[in-house]
Amino acid sequence: MKPLPKKTNWKMNESGFTMTELLVGTAISLILLGLVAGIIQSQTKTFQRQSQLGQMQANGRAAVDFVTRSVQNAGYNIERGKRFLAASDHYLTMVFDDDNDGTIQNDEVMTYAVSTPQGVNNETFLISPFFDQDDDEIVDSTETRDYNISLALAGPPFNFYRIIPNKGDNGVVKSTVARNIDNIIIRYWDKNGNRLPIGVALDGDGLPVPPYVLPDDELNDIRGVDFEIVTRSRDEDPNANYVNSGTYFAGSVATQNSSDTYSDSYHRETYASNTSPRNLITAPWGKISMKASPATVSCPDSSTTITASVVDGDGAGVGTGIAVNFNTTDGTLSPVTSSTIGSGNATTTLTYDWESPSVTVTLSASALIDVDGEDYPVFNAIPVSFNSGDGIFTDDFEDGNSDGWTEEGATNWNVASGQYKTASNGDGVSSNGCASWQDYEAQVEIKRNGSLGTGEHVGLVLRYQSSTQYYFARIFCTLCTGNPNTHQYVLELVDFNSGATIFTSSSITFDNNEYYTLKASAEDDTLNAKFWKTTDSEPGAWDVTATDSSYTEGKIGMTTTTNTTTFDNVAVNPL
């Protein structure tokens, strides 16, 4: 037998780390923690720096974009006043129809300027804009007010503001576009490339030396705008070794209440643009603008008031006694010639007789403006629409109701499954549209589900006067007994005047459970109608034609004597 191995006795050293070992370990840990802390601090500073640089760039781009867009649009759709109302090396006021609604509102008078936030105002300039104060979509000579715009110029950093006048009083609202602006310089030139204002001092590079303000009589001469803006970081660079030194442009707004030079740890970046207004007055002696109220006339209304505003080259009303001649491609004008009143406005009334249910009239106005003893012409034209709804009446009954239809007679009309029909037999008529319509073409899709009886009909009404007076094109059953395949139908043009007078008729096919299109027209004293299966191509010629002058205008409608037919997809088009 083998003896068991002897058990080894292990002795544990329970004395722990020596003081030297602890001190060495602690020192190493502190060194590592210091390195980690240094890395974190460095990364934090880098992140903060990059974040501020990004914000600085966003501020510069925002300011440049706002001013560039506004300068390009300045003057668009203005009726009165100048496109530029004030201009200097550090502010600029422009007017344009920003929402393209044809009228200048208060928020479309835009001043861009720098001002020191929380600073004490030490500069004020005046603007006197024209805008629609009473919401009548017309800017007349009384709709203007003086606004004093105050700025605090205590040195950088500035805020870059968009300032708009209040509508109801002479206050203004400032909105911040960009913060931490270090400097701004706006420069101007005229059509000949000369710097504005006239006589401004130029430096060795030919650049105007601020400060300068363009006088009122030079604002309309602006043909180009240079915009230069310097942004800076919100905080100084945490790197103690970073120093940013330089000199501000002589006389610029950054130097008005501070040093001409800077030496600090702020980051700076310069952004610039060069742009021109696109909406220049074609004739420098003035222009004429026009407004129709209402611009779209819906039947049964038949007239609109036209106001022509004549202004001189400075955008001021020309005064009383200037003859304005109006002309129109359709309708009638009264008067044809009208004289301006003190505000430079002349008015006339345009009336349309609804010969067609839809028409767009071109209305023009012209006048002569006296400049130093010579007459210069101004001209303008606008469209004026006369229509019902969108000018083309339609109803497919998919909305599940018959709103707008006037139902008369013994039948009970209703809409079901996107179709219009009667729930019982008997004479019935349902009308829609405008009683002033004259010449138009109407159509409807008709389907029968079962047979009409002999002498029964379904039809499309034209020039509806009342339930007892109208024209209509009808599908009439001349023989509907026995085998449905042998039933006989005709298309008729009828004058209904408390009884039917048939103008003309033509034999047709009207199969069961098939959609057919019935189209009819009324133009002057001529009536037409045609009938075809909807899935087929429309015939080129009318099936029936008649002449009558009993009714010259009226609505459209549908009529039937049976509940076996349905109507769908009604449409009216002008002729």
Query: How do residues 117-126 score in pLDDT, each as one tens digit?
Result: 988 999 999 9
The yes-or-no verdict on residue 362 having pLDDT over 90 is yes
Give 389's pLDDT tier (boundaries 50, 70, 90): low
Structure tokens at 465: 């006067």
Rounded to a whole number of angstroms, the distance between the first and last alpha carbons of the chain is 129
The rounded percent of the chain whose pLDDT value lies above 90 is 53
Find tokens 């000949």 and name the residue.
Answer: 192
Q: Where does the pLDDT of residue 411 fall: very low under 50, low under 70, confident under 90, or very high at 90 and above?
A: confident
| Higher per-residue pLDDT: 78 or 282 | 78
pLDDT band, very low/low/confident/very high, at 541 (cuts 50, 70, 90): very high
Q: 338 is written with which tokens?
A: 């009208």
- Residue-wise pLDDT for 165-184, tens only, equals 999 999 999 999 888 999 99
Determine the pLDDT at residue 303.
93
3 state SS of 376: strand
85 pLDDT band, cuts 50/70/90, is: very high
DSSP state of 535: T
Q: How many CB atoms lie within 10 A of CB 556?
A: 29
Distance CA 534, CA 521 (A): 18
- Maximum average pLDDT range among 86-100, 224-238, 364-378: 86-100
Confidence bin at 61 (pLDDT 50/70/90): confident
Residue 54 — very low, low, confident or very high, per pLDDT cuts 50/70/90?
Answer: low
Phi, psi of 267 (to 5 degrees): -85, 145
* pLDDT, position 381: 92
Q: CB-based contacts of 380: which residues, under 8 Å, 6+ apart?
A: 287, 288, 289, 290, 308, 364, 365, 366
Give the separation between CA 119 and CA 122, rounded to whole angstroms: 9
| β partners of residue 377 | 368
What are the tens digits of pLDDT across the range 101-114?
Answer: 888 999 999 999 99
pLDDT of 434 strictly over 90: no
Residues 6+ positions from 36 with CB-CB distance below 8 Å = none
**Per-residue confidence band for 308, with pLDDT thresholds at 50, 70 and 90:** very high
Query: 411: buried, middle or exposed (CB in 10 Å: 19+, 13-18, 0-12)?
Result: buried
d(C-alpha 408, C-alpha 411), whole Å: 8
pLDDT value at residue 533:
96
What are the pLDDT digits (tens) for 196-217? 999 999 999 999 999 999 999 8
Mean pLDDT across the chain: 87
- The domain locations on the chain are 59-275, 286-387, 393-574
pLDDT in the model for residue 410: 76
- Give the single-character DSSP code of 144: B
What's domain 286-387's superfamily in CATH?
Immunoglobulins (2.60.40.10)
Q: Average pLDDT for residues 225-231, to the nearest whole number? A: 93
CB 97 within 8 A of CB 108: yes
Report the range out of 62-66, 258-262, 342-346, 552-556 with the highest average pLDDT: 552-556
> How many angstroms separate the Cα of 290 from the Cα of each of 124, 303, 309, 370?
35, 16, 6, 20
CATH number of 393-574: 2.60.120.560
pLDDT at 46: 56
Q: What are the phi and psi torsion angles at 4 (to 5°)?
A: -70, 145
